[in-house]
């Protein structure tokens, strides 16, 4: 790397996770120890530790004698993940409705502003990541750490699925204000409306899927080190 900042395995994991959430690092992309050592300027042992963490969260597939690759869910797995996520979103939404306080609502509003700023700046990759993280922000307000951690994994996997099978030319419901309407319903303690909007939102995301694989030839240096052009 160009700087002298000492990275940890968690820093490498975050860089890869963010690139997955931003749908810049495509499913199926090979991640070799040699390549990541070169990209980040770290040791093989540190890269191996990062691989283990990413494998645990189902971000990468790690196989003996085959190396690591960004996970590439099958169409069947994609439907199962969206089904599981919808169930988890609804369960957490009910708890968030009961437990969210003014500080939680303020955090949600601040996150919505970040989403809108990313759109205004034309930073598509950042907006995509923030749109996924919005659901984790809602989940945290439920004050149930195990459920929120599971939701976070499902959000990551959903990003992989949308990157692999998503119809990039279809309009996204996230830009249509559904996130803001969900927060409005949470603040109003209107569980019925919040649940209905969330269900429509998840259905619209799954409707973007078109089960045709895409090319995975990518430049790891450009993705993991350099910020994409707006």
Query: For the chain, which domains are there?
Result: 9-72 (1.10.10.10), 75-206 (1.20.120.530)
pLDDT band at 8 (very low <50, low <70, confident <90, very high): very high
pLDDT, tens digit, 9 for 90 and up, residues 62-105: 887 777 999 989 999 999 999 999 999 999 999 999 999 999 99
Predicted pLDDT at 230: 40
Predicted pLDDT at 115: 94
Q: How far apart are CA 64 and CA 228, in angstroms?
A: 33
Nearest CA to 220 out of 35, 81, 17 is that of 35
Sign of dihedral through CA atoms 161, 53, 138, 92?
Answer: positive
pLDDT, tens digit, 9 for 90 and up, residues 155-201: 988 888 888 888 755 445 565 589 999 999 999 999 999 999 999 99
Predicted pLDDT at 229: 41
List C-alpha distances in Å: 20 to 17, 23, 45, 228.
5, 5, 23, 13
Does pLDDT of 227 surpass 80? no
Answer for the pair 65, 55: CB distance below 8 angstroms, yes or no: no
pLDDT, tens digit, 9 for 90 and up, residues 127-154: 988 999 999 999 999 999 999 999 999 9
Predicted pLDDT at 1: 44
pLDDT, tens digit, 9 for 90 and up, residues 98-128: 999 999 999 999 999 999 999 999 998 889 8
């Amino acid at each position: 790397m160009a700087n002298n900042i000492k990275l940890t395995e968690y820093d490498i994991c975050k860089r890869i996770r963010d690139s997955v959430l931003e749908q810049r690092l495509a499913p199926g992309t090979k991640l070799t120890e040699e390549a990541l050592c070169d990209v980040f300027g770290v040791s093989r042992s540190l890269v191996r530790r990062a691989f283990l963490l990413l494998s645990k969260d189902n971000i990468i597939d790690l196989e003996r004698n085959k190396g690591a690759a960004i996970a590439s869910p099958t169409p069947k797995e994609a439907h199962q993940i969206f089904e599981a996520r919808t169930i988890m979103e609804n369960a957490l939404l009910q708890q968030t409705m009961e437990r969210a306080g003014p500080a939680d609502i303020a955090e949600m509003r601040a996150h919505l502003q970040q989403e809108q700023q990313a759109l205004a700046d034309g930073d598509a990759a950042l907006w995509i990541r923030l749109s996924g993280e919005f659901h984790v922000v809602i989940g945290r307000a439920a004050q149930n750490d195990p459920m929120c951690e599971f939701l976070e994994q499902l959000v990551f996997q959903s990003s992989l699925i949308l990157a692999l099978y998503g119809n990039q030319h279809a309009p996204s419901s996230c830009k249509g204000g559904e996130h803001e309407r969900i927060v409005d319903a949470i603040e109003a303690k209107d569980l019925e409306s919040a649940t209905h909007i969330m269900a429509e939102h998840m259905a619209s995301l799954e409707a973007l899927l078109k089960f045709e694989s895409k090319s995975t030839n990518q430049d790891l240096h450009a993705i993991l080190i350099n910020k994409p052009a707006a």
